[in-house]
Structure 1
Amino acid sequence: QYPEFQLLQPQGAVWVSPGETLTLICSQTGFIPVGPTKWFKGSGSGRQLVYADVGSFPRVTRAVSGSYTDYTIHISDTRPEDAGIYHCVKFVKGSGADEEIRSGNGTVVSVSARPSAPSVSGPPSRAEPGPPVTFTCTSGGFCPRDIAVTWLKNGAKLPAPQPRVLPAHESVSYSVSSTVGVSLTAGDARSQLTCQIEHSTLPAPLRATYNLSDALRVPPRLRVDTAPAAPVALNESVTFTCHAEGFYPKDASLTWLENGTETNLGNPSPLAENPDGTYTLQSSLEVKATEQRNQSVFTCRVVHDSQPPVSANATLRIFQPSPEPGKDPTSLTSLFSSPALWIGLFLEKVLTAAFLLFLFLRNKA
């Protein structure tokens, strides 16, 4: 019946995002019998009428209004429930109900959102190793709402609570937010955090990475070495060396103080990077061990990453040599403080006075 009539529905499958306009193509050629052409979703007795020239279909319009050969339609504001198989069907006028004579091959319509690239945010300011720090991964444009999020640190999976998917009610598009707590270590200057999102519409997981160095602060460890070791001889040259070790980021300044007053005599070495990505800064201060400097305190002060300064001290102690033999002031002091000496001197005075009195009395007689 109607061998010259052809009904063409060329689209095998169409993929569309929620909110977009879906276009379904249908055309007719050859001898076109009198009767309507309609669009249906599904097949069999349960199929749903999508468009006909007669009736109200608020979201559906014909691409070429009034055409007898082009029955392409547009479905606006596409929704997840619009997914299915659509058929373009030709009817002819009958004495009673219209008779179906042709049906298109069908177009499979998939409605799923194109997710946005995820992004990972860290703490508002740098954090030191210790308590967990919160990181958040966000993305949007998902449909349906089944979304899986995995956190990885240097490729190893981290435990994390279930992601939050919004809105809670039915929607044409969903967003996801996931948080994870990470305890930073000094070695995380070279670590990466990865947020991985899986969804039924994605051929491969979406990933976003975060360099933990952007969130890390490791304070310096300070120590001051003295060469030669104290105490030192008078007028000897002494070198104090300050080591600021294992800090991150590399922004640090080092100054020397002598008894609380800054000195510009320091000789800093170039900043050195450690294997774990932290840094070490070293500075030497050479002074002469004068008598006035005995017990002087030399302070190494480091300001790191705009934080309050940290300090380490060393005290200059000068060695006092022993007196020459026979000139030991300690021995003389001990001698004059002896009670026997004072008793002897007292007896000497008494005997001398008695002898003088004896001579006086004898001459008088």
Structure 2
Amino acid sequence: PLIPAPPHPPGGSLPVTQQHGYCCCAGAQEFQLLQPQGAVSVSAGETFTLNCSVTGLTPVGPVKWFKGSGSGRQLVYEEKGSFPRVTRAVRGSETDFTIRISDTRSEDAGIYHCVKFKKGLKTDEEFRSGAGTTVSVGARPSAPSVSGPPSRAVPGPPVTFTCTSGGFSPRDITVTWLKNGAKLPDPQTQVLPELQSISYNMSSTVGVSLTRGDARSQLTCQIEHSTLPAPLRVTYNLSDALRVPPRPRVDTDPAAPVTLNKPVTFTCCAEGFYPKDANLTWLENGSETNLGKPSPLAENPDGTYTLQSSLEVNATEQRNQSMFTCRVVHDSQPPISASAMLRLSQPPADSALLGPLGRAGRGRLRAGTVTLATLCAQGR
């Protein structure tokens, strides 16, 4: 503000500032750069505002925005140049240099300075800098994923499952594992990097002991984070990791011993296996025989499967004490077998005399190559 000049002092001359009838007030305001925000928090994808203003037009020179400080600082905005996500709040203003940054990303976190420059002989010189505004970006975790073991596992020993997610900030994150809605104990969660960063990744593992009834069970990885209105969840079907071997058994009808030359049916039942791909074959005394009569694949209430096949043979003398084996190949694993023996209820009349000679002796007897007297003479 200007005030009238005082009277001409006797015997002296007026100061230069008073020669035109006014002078500058002793308290005339100095240039100030105002950056009032100490900290700003924003969620990824949103727009945030950085406030900056100046109190005068001198010295002549531009106002720019930087992220960071020192020689490594990054130019965020100046009047010339292209900055696609940055705009002036008040276009054309000579005192208000507030900017808005849109589509916020995790890498936008940092300390921002509003800086006034003055024109120099060759280059602009930094004149005044704001105190700085710390911007923190809350980035939502990416959609989580769960991976299981590299190959199917049988019920019993614990199997490791891993849940991963990334690109979130700040570092605070909580991971919960559930099996069929029930919380699992002792998950191991790691957040990287361990030092301060603009973005973090998470990996969490849990051990689960599978059971025969887990073909319809589900495993859930649940992530809670300060930027999420509700937890993120991803579900893994334990059927993708489970292998339940079949339990084969062989029954006979009628039950042994059986009558000579009567039909007998062997039934193989491969029970409670998962997944459903299985193949069943019959063997007689170790050699493959016909495929029998398979029944349709049946699904059990717990999600496992049962496969059944029957084989009908005549109870001939030659088949007495023959071994009939049901062999099951499941999910490309080594075969699993179950067997039953065909036993005649009434052996042939000459079997007591033949004794250890067995079937071969009986055949020779019928062919005339050996006589009962000879057998007796030999003590047989």
Could you say whether these structures have the same fold, taking a TM-score greater than 0.5 normalized by the shorter chain as the test? yes
Counterpart residue identity of residue 312, structure 2: E
What does 1:47-196 align with in structure 2 at a 5 Å threshold?
58-62=73-77, 64-65=79-80, 68-69=92-93, 71=97, 73=99, 78-82=107-111, 111-196=137-222
Aligned to 2:23: none
What does 1:252-267 align with in structure 2 at a 5 Å threshold?
252-267=278-293
In the superposition, relative to structure 1, how do residues 36 and 268 fare at CA in structure 2: closer, same or farther (>3 Å)? farther
> 1:160: how far off?
2.1
> 1:23: how far off?
6.1
SS in 1 for 2:213: helix
> 1:185: how far off?
0.1
Aligned to 1:270: 296
Aligned to 1:7: none
Counterpart residue identity of residue 170, structure 1: Q
State how far apart, in whole Å, the 2-side matches of 1:121 and 1:223 are. 35
> 1:172: how far off?
0.2
> 1:62: how far off?
3.2
Deviation digits for residues 300-334 of structure 1 (CA, Å, limit 9, x no counterpart)? 000000000010111101111797xxxxx99xxxx
> 1:131: how far off?
0.6
Residue 244 (structure 1) aligned with residue 270 (structure 2): yes
SS in 2 for 1:319: coil
Contact 1:256–1:299 at 8 Å: present in 2 too?
A: yes
Question: Which consecutive unaligned segments of at least 5 residues does structure 2 have?
Answer: 1-39, 82-90, 115-132, 354-380
In the superposition, relative to structure 1, how do residues 109 and 169 fare at CA in structure 2: closer, same or farther (>3 Å)? closer
Counterpart residue identity of residue 313, structure 1: S
Deviation digits for residues 33-91 of structure 1 (CA, Å, limit 9, x no counterpart)? 85699xx9xxxxxxxx966xxx99943443643963384536698454459xx99xxxx
State how far apart, in whole Å, the 2-side matches of 1:195 and 1:21 are. 27
What is the RMSD computed on CA atoms of the aligned residues? Answer: 3.9
Q: State which drifts further: 189-198 or 161-170.
A: 161-170
State how far apart, in whole Å, the 2-side matches of 1:251 and 1:143 are. 46
Contact 2:176–2:187 at 8 Å: present in 1 too?
A: no
In the superposition, relative to structure 1, how do residues 187 and 148 fare at CA in structure 2: closer, same or farther (>3 Å)? same
State how far apart, in whole Å, the 1-side matches of 2:275 and 2:250 are. 22
Counterpart residue identity of residue 15, structure 1: V
> 1:161: how far off?
3.4
Aligned to 1:293: 319
Counterpart residue identity of residue 345, structure 2: F
Aligned match for 2:249, one of 209, 214, 223: 223
How many residue pairs end up in the alignment? 280
Aligned to 1:15: 42
Residue 309 (structure 1) aligned with residue 307 (structure 2): no
Aligned to 2:305: 279
Counterpart residue identity of residue 279, structure 1: Y
State how far apart, in whole Å, the 2-side matches of 1:256 and 1:314 are. 11
Counterpart residue identity of residue 309, structure 1: P
Aligned to 1:206: 232
Deviation digits for residues 268-312 of structure 1 (CA, Å, limit 9, x no counterpart)? 000000000000000000011111111111000000000000101
Counterpart residue identity of residue 324, structure 2: F
Deviation digits for residues 157-180 of structure 1 (CA, Å, limit 9, x no counterpart)? 000234101001110001111110
In the superposition, relative to structure 1, how do residues 265 and 219 fare at CA in structure 2: closer, same or farther (>3 Å)? closer
Deviation digits for residues 99-128 of structure 1 (CA, Å, limit 9, x no counterpart)? xxxxxxxx9965111311111000000000
In the superposition, relative to structure 1, how do residues 146 and 318 fare at CA in structure 2: closer, same or farther (>3 Å)? same
SS in 2 for 1:241: strand
Counterpart residue identity of residue 254, structure 2: P
> 1:16: how far off?
4.5
Report the TM-score when normalising by structure 2: 0.64
Contact 1:265–1:286 at 8 Å: present in 2 too?
A: no
State how far apart, in whole Å, the 1-side matches of 2:71 and 2:343 are. 101
The sequence identity of aligned pairs, in percent, is: 70
Aligned to 1:361: none
